[in-house]
Structure 1
Amino acid sequence: MKLEAPDRQLGVPLRLGVGVFGASLALFVVRFLVPRPIAMSNNGDGGRVLCGAGITWKGLPEPFVHLTYAPTPAAPCRPTYLLTQSWLADLAVRIGRLTGLPGTLSLVILGLLSSVIAAAAVTAIVLGLPYPRRTRLFVAAGLLLVVADSAFFGYFAAILGEGAAFLGLLLAVGGLLLTAREGPWSYAGMAVTFAGGVLAVNAKVQTLTILPILAVAILLVRPGTLRGARRWASAALVIGAIGAVTLYAQQSVEPARAPDGTYSGFPGDDSREINVFNSIFLNIVDGRHDTQADLAELGLPPSFAQYAGNGWWHPHPATMDPLYPRYRDQISRRNVVTYFATHPGRTLEVLDRAATDQLTARPDYLGSFDENAGFPPHAQEHRVPVVSWLTGLIAPLGLFALVPIWLFVLARAWSRRRTAPGVAAAFLLAVSVTQFGAAALGDGIEGIKHQSVALFAILVAVVLAIPRVPRVSSPALCSSPLNGGQQPTVP
């Protein structure tokens, strides 16, 4: 074994980075456009993303993809909370103006833009890993399989929030890894972490919980050779910048108007009652258990048994009942949390079903093609199904499959806890577990789609956790993964 320091000069990693970026971008572009563009159809929520990009659209769930969204004569809208996919869509609109599409969002441009960001994020991760070249390329191949998988790739060219979450997580991980390198790489890593953090944290209301997890990860990764006050000041600067942009962005939108008519400046309050309602009538009062006992636990009248299993959008929901206004206060997060905390058996049942949803990976109602492509409604592409096919095989096992994956990543992250890759894997694991819990217990509908961020995070964590850490025989090199010093390679 020969130990080298390939990163003493910038030339070697720069050449590697150019190669990885070029190859990744080429693969993503071909993946996206050949033989025809693919995306994810609108599930009905896409109006928020379009509104943030300056396009008013009030379409219902659609079986086909619209490759372009043109401005309408309707009154301008303002989103009630921010989704960073709107920023990418707005940038795509601005690029479209240069190509003769004034005010029109082209999903082809949005998909190409997202492909560039995804390729850059994969490159940042590869450059940040303190591993030999062959190990880095192995990780790159694993990342490409995850990012290009049919369960995830279509979101990049969609008017849904998940695509921005995927890109943000990739950039945040790449930034954390680069931050631990020496010299210019460390400062570049801080900038990439900031960009990724803003994208991921603000991708959806559900992803706002990523902010404190990312803050801890930033504090744990030592920035290059910085020590003492400079180290903590740089970490505080990145965390503060992400927090400030998030606060400004979320407060710059229209105040949320809840179903009861009240207004709030907190993101997602316009759908809070809807989410809690669905959690109660789809997860708890679902018609498959002791309905009367569950209604009594929740403080709801026995007559509401007729609405068991009927969500907010059902033709016959409890909201139509004359008694509903009297019991609206019982449709609360506190009530739901109390129920799940005092009924561990039912909670495990809901979590097990959510684990199956997560590993299923892809909802069957989101189509991949536009109407002119010649496919039936809701038709889906399966060009790169490797990862989602594997998770689909174990999906029926629910928690019995998902928990071992968590434990594997946790064990590998703990064994590398003093290294940037260990911190990055732990960050992704924490994101995945918290997103899993929030989606499982916080809303009873679209479980597969709402688990996609959690699944993406854990799959990227698995890719980072698989490679063995190179054995270092020289004590002088033992701290290199954190301080950016010499890295061992095996020729």
Structure 2
Amino acid sequence: MTNRFLRGLLRVMTPAAAAAAGVLVITVLALFVYPYIGIADNGDFFRVLYSNGLYINDPTYDSQYLGFFVKTYGIFQYFNENQATIFSTQSSFVKAAIGLNKLFHPGTTTFDIRYQAALYLGLYTAAIYLLVEALTWKLSKLRGYVIAGIVVFVFGDTGYTAYFNSLYGESVMLIMTMFMVASGLLLYRRRYNDYVMLGIFVVSTMILTASKQQNAPVGILTAIFGVFFIYIRKSRSYRAITAGLLAALIGVGVGTYVLIPKEFVNINKFHAMTRGVLMGSTDPEKTLESFGIDKQYAILNRSEYYEPYKSFDVDSAQFEEQFFSKYGFVSILRYYAAHPGQAGQMLNIAARDGFSIRPMAMGNYEQSVGKPFGAHTVFFSGYSLLKQALAPKTFGFILLWTLLIIGLYVPSFVHAIRSQQWRKATKLPIVILLISMGLSGIFVSIIGAGDADLAKHEFLFTLTFDLVSLLTVRDLIAKQLWSTESESKQVGAAM
């Protein structure tokens, strides 16, 4: 009876619906059924809490940093004098979750973060549906369900979804990247209305770009590679709208960078020097002098901005004049270019952390569960654990992977260009865009903040790595890797 029911269900349920339902059920079990899974605060939550009308109402909160997930916070009942510390689209989602919390609990003074998780999960389920629809469109059901199963295994992993029960911006990055890739592939396959898919593509990219300061390059990169979308329709109005939207993406990218507060610029600059340039130098004093900085500051080597006891007052005007004013993003980039050995060393450090989906420094359980400090869940974590254990931890592997992926898609791109199938030519730009986004996450993290909190800073890389690898595996399964899909429709239909 059960087998008959499952077979009947599979006959009427598309692979996209099955994948969305699978991720939904798994994530509900992980985040909404006791013991609840989330991610502990590493000190970053304050950037989101107070400016959005929330505050810490647990007197033992300080002792739970890094080790335990906290699911409830207080809601300000009177005037909130706290201003936003950073500009981020994440705030809109936090405020919407607070509104949802108040809707179901009128007059409440407590915010349950699971309302935010519910909001995120609804969006994520829709994004998964669109992604799998793009991957399985016009494929046989057998192949479609295989691909759907892979998507559930990879993106239903709690390494990804545990972020929903936290105040980290990675939740917004995950969801919006999914929408961006799904809508881009749906444009490529001419599935659904082009204008609607273009709107989802641009809006999700804007939200992604403005969700975190380090994502500022995303808008610019997307505008560059998105130029190919201009030519998929001959209508002048479509082309004008697309060009205007891509120009707007550049504006969002530039605006996100310009709006980075001075305080956070200095925090990142401090780590870029102490946890990057100096940390890899064989002669820190000489290195500082090459930047025009007094060699006495070499004592700061490997130190962190938030250390309670430092040798210098990093917030003083004197430190600003003698240290921060002496270097910037460009000068650090120039330094690494002149010291390729040290740059390679930093890139390998980045590669070591670039395949960790979950931040290993932060625990997943509430303190009341009784798990050890910093304990991690293993519930539906097969993919993240395998990836962490098996992925080569060198930047050389990342380069080889990049060259291999691009090389695999070049023949179909060249064929599409020669035959003037502009829509079919958009797949390679989408792939290169994702790879560029991931690599930009690595480079911006190293040059902008050294090795400080690399596992979280490289979230965009590990996500785009998984998406590009998934797309490649999908094309292998569909036998569409080296040929245009128009040539292989009969093959797919015959299966």
- Does TM, scored on the shorter chain, surpass 0.5? yes
| Equivalence for 2:100 | 95
Any gaps of 5 or more consecutive residues in structure 1? 1-11, 252-264
Q: Per the alignment, do residues 421 and 137 of structure 1 end up closer, same or farther by CA in structure 2, a change over 3 Å counting?
A: farther
Deviation, structure 1 residue 271: 0.9
Cα distance in 2 for partners of 1:430, 1:125 equals 20
- Whether contact under 8 Å (2:281, 2:287) holds in the other structure is no
Any gaps of 5 or more consecutive residues in structure 2? 1-10, 417-423
Cα distance in 1 for partners of 2:180, 2:18 equals 21
Q: Residue 432 in 1 paired to residue 431 in 2?
A: no
Equivalent residue of 1:310, what SS?
A: coil
Equivalent residue of 1:144, what SS?
A: helix
Cα distance in 1 for partners of 2:100, 2:494 equals 45
| Equivalence for 2:151 | 143
Q: Residue 355 in 1 paired to residue 351 in 2?
A: yes
Q: Larger deviation: 46-55 or 423-432?
A: 46-55
Q: Per the alignment, do residues 128 and 395 of structure 1 end up closer, same or farther by CA in structure 2, a change over 3 Å counting?
A: closer
- Whether contact under 8 Å (1:429, 1:461) holds in the other structure is yes
Equivalent residue of 1:70, what SS?
A: strand
| Equivalence for 1:8 | none
Q: 1:451 aligns with which of 443, 455, 458?
A: 458
Cα distance in 1 for partners of 2:36, 2:48 equals 20
Q: Per the alignment, do residues 486 and 242 of structure 1 end up closer, same or farther by CA in structure 2, a change over 3 Å counting?
A: farther
Q: Larger deviation: 66-75 or 422-431?
A: 66-75
Cα distance in 2 for partners of 1:318, 1:280 equals 15
| Equivalence for 1:3 | none
Equivalent residue of 2:259, what SS?
A: coil
| Equivalence for 2:27 | 28
Q: Larger deviation: 20-29 or 53-62?
A: 53-62
| Equivalence for 2:240 | 233
- Whether contact under 8 Å (2:41, 2:69) holds in the other structure is yes
Letter of the 2:168 counterpart: L
- 1:223-245 alpha-carbon deviations (Å, 9 max, x no partner): 86x31424422422543565677
Equivalent residue of 1:388, what SS?
A: helix
Q: 2:89 aligns with which of 84, 89, 94?
A: 84
- 1:332-365 alpha-carbon deviations (Å, 9 max, x no partner): 3333222112111111111111110112443332
Cα distance in 1 for partners of 2:254, 2:217 equals 13
Q: Per the alignment, do residues 108 and 126 of structure 1 end up closer, same or farther by CA in structure 2, a change over 3 Å counting?
A: same
- Whether contact under 8 Å (1:277, 1:312) holds in the other structure is yes
Deviation, structure 1 residue 24: 3.1
- 1:280-317 alpha-carbon deviations (Å, 9 max, x no partner): 11212228622222122222222223222222223454
Q: Residue 310 in 1 paired to residue 303 in 2?
A: yes
Cα distance in 1 for partners of 2:321, 2:250 equals 39
How many positions carry a matched residue from both structures?
Answer: 459
- 1:390-410 alpha-carbon deviations (Å, 9 max, x no partner): 332245632233333323332
Letter of the 2:105 counterpart: G
Q: Larger deviation: 397-406 or 352-361?
A: 397-406
| Equivalence for 2:112 | 106
| Equivalence for 1:206 | 214
- Whether contact under 8 Å (1:276, 1:336) holds in the other structure is no
Q: Per the alignment, do residues 243 and 292 of structure 1 end up closer, same or farther by CA in structure 2, a change over 3 Å counting?
A: closer
Identity of aligned residues (%): 18
Letter of the 1:121 counterpart: A
Letter of the 1:281 counterpart: T
Deviation, structure 1 residue 117: 1.3
Letter of the 1:83 counterpart: S
Q: Residue 376 in 1 paired to residue 358 in 2?
A: no
Residues 18-57 of structure 1 correspond to what in structure 2 (within 5 A)?
Answer: 18-56=17-55
- Whether contact under 8 Å (2:15, 2:144) holds in the other structure is no
TM, length-normalised to structure 2: 0.82
Equivalent residue of 1:69, what SS?
A: strand
Equivalent residue of 1:319, what SS?
A: coil
Letter of the 2:294 counterpart: P
- Whether contact under 8 Å (2:15, 2:148) holds in the other structure is no
| Equivalence for 1:284 | 277
Letter of the 2:72 counterpart: T
- Whether contact under 8 Å (1:307, 1:316) holds in the other structure is no
| Equivalence for 1:152 | 160
Letter of the 1:159 counterpart: L
- 1:101-123 alpha-carbon deviations (Å, 9 max, x no partner): 54643221111221221111111
Cα distance in 2 for partners of 1:280, 1:351 equals 15
